[in-house]
Amino acid sequence: MIDDVGRAGGAAQGLVAMAPQLVRAGVRLDVAYLRESPGGFQPELTGAGADVFGVGRATRARTAAALRRMVRERRPDLVHTTLYESDVLGRAAAFAARTPVVSSLVDPAYGPGHLGARGAGPWKVRAAQAVDAATAQGTRRFHALSRYVAGAMAQRLRVPRERIDVVPRGRDPEVLGTVTPDRRAAVRAALGLPQDVPVVLAAARHEYRKGLDVLLEAWPGVLRAAPEAVLLLAGGEGGETPRLTALARAAGSVRLLGPRDDVFDLMAASDALAVPSRWEGFGSAAMEGMGVGVPLVCADVPALRETVGSEDYARLVPPERPAELAAALTDTLEDRSAARMRAKAARARFLTAFTLHQVSGRMVEFYERSLRLRRV
């Protein structure tokens, strides 16, 4: 069960990437989503062998009733919920049907960043936390994307840390591809970019947590050192879009590309991938950049450091520090030899920890363990 299967969501992207592997491993996969997203991943999920159901109704009560009916009719061995609405309503449906339920923890929710985010009142955050924690008590096991999320959410949901298994997201190396001269040239030609122009890419939805405003505030500092540089922002609109549009106009040499289905190609055509997030639960864009082999400049927040490893693999800078971010990007563009060495090491790290085959196998083990073990 997942809130939606829209193409912009990291959870949906992870699900659609893993679905074929799970089905091939013998999992009978039903996917229930609560909200419609035009042009979503329904065809890919169906093509992978999953049965897909839209169960959202006009009210939460009706949605909860539809989920209960679905669990009773489909009779799954295990219900797996992902994201807040699905967690709360899906757990309740599983409890009512006396079916074991597990939940994914994809974000360090209810922390200081959430309390300070624009448009999120503290009382709303705390109310959501109380409901999440209450339904979490009957959940058999949890899957977290990182050790950082596991530790934070064990405390915030008041569940024992030993009930949480850590399995990261993964990607297929063949789908990602790598940096090659031909690929770089073709993508740049399609964008109308000269082959020798320094290009920095950020791939993220326009949300406060992603820190794209920090990157745009840093960009004039990069241009002072590299006047020909171009910044590409690929990602869907969100709560920060109006502000980011104004900042991009003021910064200069910025292209807002909107949502793209060729992000891996854009990575391969770039000289650096910037991930300036204020917080993350994992850092899918950074992991994908590692797989492609593009030099990384990331905010030094716990989950991103856990994903990329150390400064042997990426430049890490304190979050919300535009001047330091500009300096790290400038250094990456100027010292190409060192940047390539970090990128090569990062791709080797990706191949040892984040391939889709490895991660899918660990998820199947998580399901099997959850069915064997009673709640501790």
Q: Which domains does the chain have, with CATH numbers?
A: 2-170+356-372 (3.40.50.2000), 173-353 (3.40.50.2000)
* Per-residue pLDDT reduced to its tens digit, 203-253: 999 999 999 999 999 999 999 999 999 999 999 999 999 999 999 999 999
Helix 212-225 × helix 322-334 angle, to 10°:
50
Tokens of 170: 């993964």
Query: Is residue 4 packed enough to be buried (19+ CB in 10 Å), middle (13-18) or exposed (0-12)?
Result: buried
Question: Per residue in 267-277, is it b (16+ CB within 10 Å) or e — as a string?
Answer: bbbbbbbbbbb
Residue 115, pLDDT > 80, answer no
The mean pLDDT of 123-137, rounded to a whole number, is 93
C-alpha span between 192 and 185 (Å, rounded): 10
* Per-residue pLDDT reduced to its tens digit, 48-94: 999 999 999 999 999 999 999 999 999 999 999 999 999 999 999 99
C-alpha span between 101 and 99 (Å, rounded): 6
C-alpha span between 174 and 151 (Å, rounded): 33
Residue 375, pLDDT > 50, answer no
Asked whether the whole model's pTM tops 0.95, one would answer: no
Phi/psi at 150 (5° precision)? -60, -45
* Per-residue pLDDT reduced to its tens digit, 163-203: 999 999 999 999 999 999 999 999 999 999 999 999 999 99
Nearest to 1 by CA among 95, 70, 73: 70
| Res. 38 pLDDT band, cuts 50 70 90 | confident
Q: 314: how many CB neighbours lie within 10 A of its CB?
A: 31
| Residues found in the chain | 376
Number of H helices, E strands in the chain: 17, 13
Sign of CA pseudo-dihedral 219, 224, 226, 227:
positive
Residue 28, pLDDT > 50, answer yes
Residue 376, pLDDT > 90, answer no
